[in-house]
Chain A
């Protein structure tokens, strides 16, 4: 058995929840770019922060914090320093996509797409992929919206949605990592982590402690993906 099969077991359907943030006009975010761990991971996202995906999370009630028999999908984009938020969290010309591969061939079988309209604190979100054709789930940013079963034809529900500014959940001593790559000291580990204990800045710290993001958070019943034991493959993309 290949290591991959050993790790993931049989029938692992990948839900490629790729929230693809479409291209968005750069707003007034003026913080210094922090290049790490997919935050601004190449030139294009660096110049297009509203389309820059930071992280993707998928967790259920058994290991994560989601409610019973539900799965939560998270996509964070647009990293910025606390206190330096752009005028609105999302671009109106970017699509944020969560892709799902349901049959383990690494090709998306279904996509949940988030789009936005409006401006400022009253931006609206529109979700396609969870309801019948020509319909979508919609609501306002920066608040929790619940979509119960019966409101939209074809939707299994209930779904909880939040789109808006959040504390960046990521944690990493990026500066320590950069120092280690650029330096010549031996790795110390322990409480020093990647830092040089004899250097000028020996104490590890989380570069993302004072960072915020724009977050798309959606919680769905497991049955959306087939059952409470369903497998899938997920990734996020942004398109403009």
Chain B
């Protein structure tokens, strides 16, 4: 075993020590993200949950910071930036023929203003409710500039979810926004992702 692999084994075992013994259910007892390995200092390289957050909403100068930080700090660190980015994107595309809804598209009575949409996407985590169907979907009702959404659900993420179209519709405030690309092919059984 190489030296690096040996250190990795030790670090892994030390890390395991920080977890609860006899875990049968993941219980909320240890703030493990505050614990570090006893080995060489570890550095967080990348972080992700909801697709497109870092690539689209985080300013370029902050992307590495975002990747090294934690969801618990997202509201303080990025909520304002998300709002600003969404506002700017909507203004840009309005000049490119993307008619905006007014009030902004969203569930009837709850339009996704830039601040409201930013709030829904911050902190960057995948919300999961196992008691209902997973999936990210909604139905667009009406025509611009008075479109609304029904059946809005952001729960987990299925392989077939068209998160790009969803993001384009919500962020660009237009119910017809699309990249015209549909899902790839997946397997019906574990591991579900197709062969390379």
Contact = CB atoms under 8 A, between A and B. Distances in A.
Contact of A187 (B98, B153, B164): B98
Interface string A225-240: 1111111111111111
A186 B176 CA distance: 14
Nearest to B49: A235
Tell me which of B33, B157, B193 has the highest count of chain A C-beta atoms within 10 A of its own C-beta.
B193
B48 A236 contact: yes
Nearest to A76: B193
Contacts of A212: 196
Contact of A3 (B16, B120, B177): B120
Contacts, number: 401
B78 interface: no
B184 A206 contact: yes
Nearest to A227: B130
A214 to B, nearest CB: 10
Nearest to B119: A4
Interface residues of B, number: 104
Interface string B1-38: 11011001101110111011111111111111100000
A189 B178 contact: yes
Nearest to A19: B48
A6 B55 CA distance: 26
A128 B30 CA distance: 14
Contacts of B183: 171
Given A64-B156, A166-B193, A217-B192, A187 B46 contact: no
Interface of B: 1-2, 4-5, 8-9, 11-13, 15-17, 19-33, 42-49, 51-56, 63-64, 66-68, 70-72, 74, 93, 96-98, 106-107, 110, 112, 116, 119-120, 123-135, 152-159, 162, 164, 176-184, 186-196
